[in-house]
């Protein structure tokens, strides 16, 4: 607000000075003698016409071109400074909000990091347990395979022994049967 008031005061002061300059020009042109005015108009007819037009245009009750340009410039500068102030305040508020949210974001990231570390630790524990179970399964399978081989070897040995026993028994039966068959023939 103080800047706008200062600008308005400066504009009013400039307008007052401009009016004084315009009045001084009118006074200096009125002081010329009619003969000097006539010489001047004869020498420079276009200048006298444009000077008369300028004097009618720059009457004290009409604003001058310089005044309107300065007024427009001051208006635009005021508008730009207000926009810049709004932009600065908005940026400061948004920065403060972002910094507050950033703290929350860091906490969330730390919690996420701890959660990932906990999950990784749980997975490592499960991996160790799974490796232990696989080692136990592998060792029990190896023990069962070994027991199965021993049982198969024992079965083969007992089968071979039974087969030998059966062959021996069949051989003995055959010998005995042949002996019984041949014995009555010898006795007769």
Condensed to tens digits (0 to 9), the pLDDT of residues 24-82 reads 777 766 565 555 554 555 455 545 555 555 555 555 566 688 888 888 999 999 999 99
55 near 101, Cβ under 8 Å? no
Non-local (6+) Cβ contacts of 72 within 8 A are none
Q: How many domains does the chain have?
A: 1
What pLDDT is recorded for position 106? Answer: 77
Q: CA–CA separation, 68 vs 74, rounded Å?
A: 10
- Determine the pLDDT at residue 164: 94
pTM, two decimals, is: 0.33
| Assigned domain for 170 exists | no
Look over the chain and give the mean of its residue pLDDT values, rounded to a whole number: 80
Q: Which domain holds residue 41?
A: 1-62
In a domain, 12, yes or no: yes
**In which residue are the tokens 């071109």 written?**
65
Q: Is position 50 within any domain? A: yes
């Amino acid at each position: 607000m103080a800047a706008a008031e200062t600008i308005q005061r400066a504009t009013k002061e400039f307008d007052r000075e401009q009016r004084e300059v315009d009045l001084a020009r009118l006074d200096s042109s009125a002081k010329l003698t009619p003969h000097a005015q006539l010489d001047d108009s004869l020498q420079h007819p276009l200048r006298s016409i444009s000077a008369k037009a300028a004097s009618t245009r720059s009457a004290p009750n009409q604003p001058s071109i310089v005044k309107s340009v300065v007024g427009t410039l001051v208006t635009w500068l005021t508008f730009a400074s207000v926009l810049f102030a709004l932009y600065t305040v908005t940026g400061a508020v948004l920065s403060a909000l972002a910094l507050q949210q950033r703290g929350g974001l860091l906490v969330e990231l730390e919690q996420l990091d701890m959660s990932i570390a906990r999950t990784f630790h749980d997975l490592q524990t499960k991996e160790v347990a799974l490796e232990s179970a696989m080692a136990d399964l592998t060792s029990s399978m190896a023990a069962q395979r070994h027991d199965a081989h021993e049982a198969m070897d024992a079965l083969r040995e007992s089968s071979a022994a039974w087969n030998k026993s059966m062959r021996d028994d069949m051989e003995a039966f055959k010998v005995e049967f042949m002996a019984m068959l041949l014995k009555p023939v010898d006795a007769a």
